[in-house]
């Protein structure tokens, strides 16, 4: 079995009007995330290697962010947010670490080969635009934005996220019903589904998407 490569993503956040804003980049119309809006990041390279996978991923997240945006972040300032494992159906697969950090002052300077546009957006605004069909997102980005909607300041986000365990998402897809499923959902392992059973899923069959977790 071919080993799935590791990637790293950095969610940069700053205080905005009544809520935090996060930096999103639009990918070119090619590649695995063609036309999508994502957080800065990319796959681990040999010179990122450290003593463990998390430190390696931190190095990759910082390097990729600097290359794609010109913004420099201290690897030790990154807060582990989540870890995503891909569904088997995907042709291009990565195990991806998501980190969170304060977006320091500075102009975003895009590397044109990696991103064609950038915006600082409140998570709720990004999700609203996605629901209207004007901003393309992928499930890990959507769920991350949904998680961050609750925070009015970066400090509040750091306190809350730092007090909880890093979230792990091993994704399964149900294309027939338009679902992304994770551990904790009674249908995750193919079990019989009941009306009141536990849910941990994202409805992606039509816009707007809907997260269900109970």
Instruction: Compute and round to an integer the Cα radius of gyration of the chain.
Output: 17
Cα separation, 121 vs 110, in Å, equals 17
Directed axis angle between helix 123-131 and helix 139-148, to 10°?
Answer: 140
For residue 191, what pLDDT band results from cuts at 50, 70 and 90?
confident
Q: What is the pTM of this model?
A: 0.95
In 104-166, DSSP assigns E strands to 117-121
Taking only the tens place, the pLDDT of each residue in 143-173 is 999 999 999 999 999 999 999 999 999 999 9
115 versus 104: the higher-pLDDT residue is: 115
How far from the centroid of its chain's Cα atoms is residue 95's Cα? 12
Answer whether the bond into residue 30 is a cis peptide, omega within 30°.
no
């Amino acid at each position: 079995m071919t080993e799935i490569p590791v990637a790293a993503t950095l969610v940069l956040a700053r205080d905005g009007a009544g809520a935090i804003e996060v930096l999103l980049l639009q990918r070119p119309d090619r590649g695995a995330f063609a036309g999508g809006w994502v957080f800065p990041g990319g796959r681990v390279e040999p010179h990122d290697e450290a003593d463990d996978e998390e430190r390696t991923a931190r190095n990759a997240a910082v390097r990729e962010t600097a290359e794609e945006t010109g913004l420099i972040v201290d690897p030790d300032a990154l807060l582990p947010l989540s870890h995503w494992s891909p569904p088997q159906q995907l042709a291009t697969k990565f195990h991806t670490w998501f980190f969170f950090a304060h977006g320091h002052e500075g102009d975003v300077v895009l590397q044109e080969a990696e991103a064609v546009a950038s915006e600082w957006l409140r998570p709720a605004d990004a999700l609203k635009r996605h629901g209207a069909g004007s901003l393309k997102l992928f499930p890990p980005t959507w769920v991350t934005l949904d998680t961050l909607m609750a925070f009015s300041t970066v400090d509040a986000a750091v306190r809350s996220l730092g007090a909880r365990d890093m979230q792990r998402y091993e994704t399964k897809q149900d294309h027939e019903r338009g679902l992304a499923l994770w551990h904790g959902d009674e249908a995750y392992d193919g079990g019989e589904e009941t009306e009141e059973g536990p849910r941990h899923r994202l409805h992606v069959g039509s816009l707007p998407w809907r997260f269900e977790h109970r």
